Amino acid sequence: MKTLMLGNEAFARGLYEAGCCFVSSYPGTPSTEITECAAKYEELYAEWAPNEKVAMEAALGASLAGKRSFCGMKHVGLNVAADPLFTISYTGVNAGLVIGVADDAGMHSSQNEQDSRHYAQAAKIPMLEPADSAEALAFAKLAYELSERFDTAVLIKMCTRVSHSQSVVEPGERVLPEQRKYEKNPAKYIMMPANAKKRHPEVEARTEALRNWAETAGINRIEPGQDSSCGIITSSTCYQYVKEALGDTCPVLKLGMIWPMPERKIRDFAATVQRLVVVEELDGFIETHCRNLGLSVSGKDLFSNIGELSQNLVKEKLGGTVQAGAVLEDAIPARPPVMCAGCPHRSIFYVLKKLKLTVLGDIGCYTLGAVAPLGAIDTTVCMGASVSGLHGFVKAGDEENAGRTVAVIGDSTFIHSGVTGLINIAYNESNATVIILDNSITGMTGHQQNPTTGYNLKGDPCTKIDLESLCHAVGIRRVRVVDPYDMESCETVIKEELAAAEPSVIISRRPCALLKYVKHPGPICVDTEKCRGCKACMNIGCPAISMVDGKATIDTTLCVGCGVCGQLCKFGALG
Amino acid sequence: METKNIMIVGVGGQGTLLASKLLGRLLLGRGYDVKVSEVHGMSQRGGSVVTYVRWGDRVYSPIIDKGQADCILSFELLEAARYTEFLKPGGRVIVNSQQINPMPVVAGMAVYPENLEEKLKALGIEVDALDALALAEEAGSSKAVNLVLMGRLAKYFDFTREEWMEAVEKSVPPKFLEMNRKAFGLGWSA
């Protein structure tokens, strides 16, 4: 029966139908729902791993043990997992292994705009690129066939518009392949130099075999057009923009497999059109390949390598006209994301700003601590970089900076890759102060469990990592726990730990205000007699507070009654 | 048939995703090709959010581009004004007249424009405004704004009230069904 599915949901359906039995991933927008949806199938084991490298290695282990496996991540997660990726290319697989990676052109929810297709070429691993939900489902199944037939992991590259668009799919039945037997094979699975040297030629031969397969594969299809003056090569969501903008005017070569690319098919297609144009988002990946084949081609001279494309862009660049609707003369104020009302991170950032500290930030909801009026964060790079960076900053800093710098990192991010930085702090003895913002959930990606929450992906109770013990175990003697809603004690503890002559960890602990089990006292009231309109409460950037006619006003649909603003009011007007 | 386009816009957390899910399900049931595009992640934290709903014989792009929307269903007044560029000539705006100040306005760094409804009309846009928050509260919860607006949007479709209700039943938790039914009804008859 036809149904609407998100690209990610359809991907998960494809995994299910292909008989995938093991899923290990780390959440990251826009990839998260692949794994969340996979976890809803009871027949399928699914877990959140501490990070993408662990997830990929676990998925390889499951493949070697004989079951079809999967790991999923966002584009920057593939950087974390790049180490196993490049050598899995050499070992190959036993049962099929599929790796899902979701890019985020336009950076809707990411710190960079990298183009993951380069990984396929660099690691010499085939990559499929679905253009809608039906293809996400079909390609997931095809990927397992290719994986087992060509003895390779297979990458499936999603992007925000494919991952987070619902389109029509027709789900099928699950077919469970027989478990493959694990057979000891040191020459294939022990990648020490002597063995790896023998594997490398096989990897190159495999790429050529896959290239031959790609020449006739149905997923690389030519759609004829009425006018051969311009032919388009495209893939992924750009295919949809091309078809929407140009209909059946131009012949189109739609690539479902982006690596390796079919050379003959591309040459043959180019020979049938007067002008060859590649329409692709981000880097000129297909275009470069066409140039390497000696073809004359247009691409990035027309379409930017920055941000997303769209149907209007394609139309305009290829000679059409588009008309936008009317625009108001008024300046429309931006509406950037903000920390939610009641967010336990808000007050900590207020204190850090008040103390005028340098704050090395990390990846999560708390990155919003960088936004005015809090403006408390100095850096955000990648998962874990706050803790590791703090070590270098403290070691290399001058006296003026001593005792004036902290790292802030969330619970999930700390487990992902902050703990290794903390080990470095302890081992190499920098007098660093790390603040773990423990809100008992992976927040930004939409509430995923992690090793510190005591629940697994399926929602069952499980082993809970004790952050205090973990910090002690790696050699941090000073570990303090504070309630971020109590700003006075937060300030005291932060001052004390910065003054201490050894490294310390402060755990700021309070669950995310959006968690269903968190009970709130309910909206506060403003005593308008007492309110002097001093705007002190405005300095915490709470979306529930605004000034109306010179007095603080509370939006009762947003306020949860955390009481943080009341601590800033000298006149006792908020309570 | 030519592809039809509705943009559902609002503030992260207002429940725009449920509205698009519900509409997508109904349209699919009619046999259309349907695409619904959402953005998850950071913008859901109180930022400006956009969902695209497109249907027709064959829908390619998952997004609606400038000049393509037949209708903007806006959960907040300023958000309706933000996206007028996306409307077709003669397009319609259905808007919750509720104003939610974005942080730059709250912080005093920007001004929330005045008389937006009139200004939208002056652009030649057909504006259907209602106080969906008040109606949602009447139904029992401020969180039911999305169902009130769905009720209003329903006026512009030829689905029966029963068909809408069936889709509502499939999209909301049973615990809140009665309240959501009431909210939909208030939007429908407002």
The pLDDT of residue B19: 85
A380: tokens are 């955000």
Query: Does residue B44 carry a pLDDT above 70?
Result: no
State which H helix or E strand residue B72 sits in: strand B69-74
Query: Does residue B39 carry a pLDDT above 80?
Result: no
Q: Give the dihedral of Cα atoms A425, A430, A431, A437; nearest 10 deg.
A: -30
Q: Among A349, A358, A473, A491, which residue's Cα sits nearest to residue A422?
A: A473
State which H helix or E strand residue B164 sits in: helix B161-171
What is the number of H-type helices and E-type strands within chain A?
Answer: 21, 20
A568: tokens are 């800033």
The minimum CA-CA distance between B41 and chain A, rounded to whole Å, is 6
Q: How far apart are CA A417 and CA A424, in angstroms?
A: 12
Q: Name the residue facing A334 among B65, B84, B104 (closest C-beta).
A: B104
The minimum CA-CA distance between B188 and chain A, rounded to whole Å, is 23
pLDDT digits (tens, 9 = 90+) for B73-112: 999 999 999 999 999 999 999 999 999 989 898 888 899 9
Query: Does residue B41 carry a pLDDT above 90?
Result: no
The minimum CA-CA distance between B92 and chain A, rounded to whole Å, is 12
For the residues B108-122, what does the mean pLDDT come to? 94
Pairing of the two strands B87-96 and B69-74: parallel
The pLDDT of residue B43: 62
Q: Name the residue facing A4 among B28, B82, B125 (closest C-beta).
A: B28
Round to the nearest angstrom and report the end-to-end CA distance of chain A: 55
B161 in A contact zone (CB under 8 Å): no
Q: Among A557, A552, A511, which residue's Cα sits nearest to residue A535?
A: A552
* Buried residues in A166-177 as b, exposed as e (16+ CB within 10 A): bbbbeeeeeeeb
* Predicted confidence pLDDT, tens digits, chain A (575 residues): 899 999 999 999 999 999 999 999 999 999 999 999 999 999 999 999 999 999 999 999 999 999 999 999 999 999 999 999 999 999 999 999 999 999 999 999 999 999 999 999 999 999 999 999 999 999 999 999 999 999 999 999 999 999 999 999 999 999 999 999 999 999 999 999 999 999 999 999 999 999 999 999 999 999 999 999 999 999 999 999 999 999 999 999 999 999 999 999 999 999 999 999 999 999 999 999 999 999 999 999 999 999 999 999 999 999 899 999 999 999 999 998 889 999 999 999 999 999 999 999 999 999 999 998 999 999 999 999 999 999 999 999 988 888 999 999 999 999 999 999 999 999 999 999 999 999 999 998 989 999 999 999 999 999 999 999 999 999 999 999 999 999 999 999 999 999 999 999 999 999 999 999 999 999 999 999 999 999 999 999 999 998 889 999 999 888 999 999 999 999 999 98
3-state DSSP helix/strand/coil % of chain A, to nearest 5: 40, 20, 45
Mutate one of A328, A445, A559 to test the B interface: name it (highest B CB count within 10 A).
A328
What percent of chain B is predicted at pLDDT more than 90?
Answer: 76
Q: Do A365 and B61 touch (CB under 8 A)?
A: no
Q: Name the residue facing A340 among B46, B84, B119 (closest C-beta).
A: B46
Q: Do A332 and B120 touch (CB under 8 A)?
A: no
The pLDDT of residue A575: 87
Q: How far apart are CA A50 and CA A417, in angstroms?
A: 8
Q: Do A32 and B47 touch (CB under 8 A)?
A: no
pLDDT digits (tens, 9 = 90+) for B121-173: 999 999 999 999 999 999 999 889 999 999 999 999 999 999 999 889 888 88
Q: Among A226, A250, A246, A254, which residue's Cα sits nearest to residue A315?
A: A246
| Position B14 confidence tier, pLDDT thresholds 50, 70, 90 | confident
**What 3-state DSSP class applies to A448?**
strand
Q: Which amino acid is at B150?
A: M
A387: tokens are 């803790």
A429: tokens are 């003895």
Mutate one of A35, A103, A109, A166 to test the B interface: name it (highest B CB count within 10 A).
A166
Mutate one of B63, B83, B95 to test the A interface: name it (highest A CB count within 10 A).
B63
* Other C-beta atoms lying within 10 Å of the C-beta of residue A537: 22
Query: Does residue B36 carry a pLDDT above 90?
Result: yes
| Position B42 confidence tier, pLDDT thresholds 50, 70, 90 | low
Q: How far apart are CA A37 and CA A238, in angstroms?
A: 25
Q: Name the residue facing B67 among A3, A32, A324 (closest C-beta).
A: A324
B87 in A contact zone (CB under 8 Å): yes
Residues 9-38 of B with CB under 8 A from A: 11-13, 21, 24-25, 28, 33-38
Q: Name the residue facing B62 among A240, A322, A541 (closest C-beta).
A: A240
The pLDDT of residue A207: 98
Instruction: Name residues whose C-beta falls within 8 Å of residue A22's C-beta, 6 or more positions apart in sequence.
Output: A44, A45, A46, A58, A59, A62, A67, A68, A69, A70
B99 in A contact zone (CB under 8 Å): no
* Buried residues in A406-443 as b, exposed as e (16+ CB within 10 A): bbbbbbbbbbbbbbebbbbbbeeebbbbbbbbbbbbbb
**What 3-state DSSP class applies to A279?**
strand
State which H helix or E strand residue A13 sits in: helix A7-17
Looking at this predicted complex, what is its ipTM? 0.95
Q: Do B45 and A368 touch (CB under 8 A)?
A: yes
Cis check: omega of the bond before A171, within 30 degrees of 0: no
CB A358 within 8 A of CB A404: yes
The minimum CA-CA distance between A397 and chain B, rounded to whole Å, is 33
Which residue, chain included where needed, has tokens 């189109």? A252
Specify which residues A442 forms β-bridges with. Answer: A448
Cα angle: A410, vertex A78, A168; to 5 degrees: 100
Q: Give the dihedral of Cα atoms A314, A315, A321, A326; nearest 10 deg.
A: -60
